[in-house]
Amino acid sequence: MTPVTRSAALLSALGAGWIAAWQLGLRDVDQSPAYGFFITALLGFGLYASTSGIVIAEFRRQLRTVVLAVTLGVLAKVALIFGVMFFVFRDPRHLILAVAVAQIDPLSVAAMRAKSKMSDSAKALLSAWASFDDPITVLLTVYITAYALQGGGAVGGVGSFAVNLVLNLALAGVAFMLWTLVRGRVRRAEAGGLLVRYSVRAVMVVAVLALGFVAVQYALLLALALLGLFFRPNLGRWVDGLAEAGMFLAIAAVGLVLAAEFSWTLALVGVVLGVAAFGSQSVVAFALTVPKRWRGDRMRLALGQQNGLTAIILALLLEPTFPGAIAVVAPAVVAVNLLNAITNGAYDRLRPPRPALHTPRPALHTPLRAAPPTPTRPRPTPAPPRPAFPRPNPTP
DSSP for 58-119 reads: HHHHTHHHHHHIIIIIHHHHHHHHHHHHHHHH--TTHHHHHHHTSS--HHHHHHHHTT----
Nearest to 312 by CA among 84, 25, 97, 152: 97
C-alpha distance from residue 260 to each of 18, 318, 323 (Å): 9, 17, 13
Q: Which helix (H) or strand (E) holds 210?
A: helix 194-217
Residue 343 lies in a domain: yes
User: Which pLDDT does position 173 carry in this prediction?
Assistant: 93
The domain in which residue 111 lies consists of 3-350
Burial class (CB in 10 A: 0-12, 13-18, 19+), 298: middle
φ and ψ of 231, to 5 deg? -95, 90
Task: State the CATH number of the domain containing residue 328.
Answer: 1.20.1530.20
Alpha-carbon dihedral of residues 110, 317, 71, 125, nearest 10 degrees? 0
Residue 361 lies in a domain: no
Residue 396 lies in a domain: no
Residue 393 lies in a domain: no
Q: How far apart are CA 31 and CA 370, in angstroms?
A: 87
Residue 326 lies in a domain: yes
**What are the DSSP calls for 128-159, one per residue?**
HHHHHIIIIIIHHHHHHHHHHTT--TT---HH
Q: How many CB atoms lie within 10 A of CB 334?
A: 21
User: Which pLDDT does position 275 carry in this prediction?
Assistant: 96
Residue 130 lies in a domain: yes
Q: How far apart are CA 391 and CA 256, in angstroms?
A: 122
Residue 372 lies in a domain: no
φ and ψ of 358, to 5 deg? -120, 90
* pLDDT tens per residue, range 290-300: 888 888 899 99
Q: What is the DSSP letter of 356?
A: P
**HSE toward the beta carbon, residue 276, CA cutoff 13 A:** 31
User: Which pLDDT does position 151 carry in this prediction?
Assistant: 46
When divided into structural domains, the chain yields a total of 1
Q: Which residues of the chain have pLDDT under 50?
A: 151-155, 353-370, 388-389, 394-396
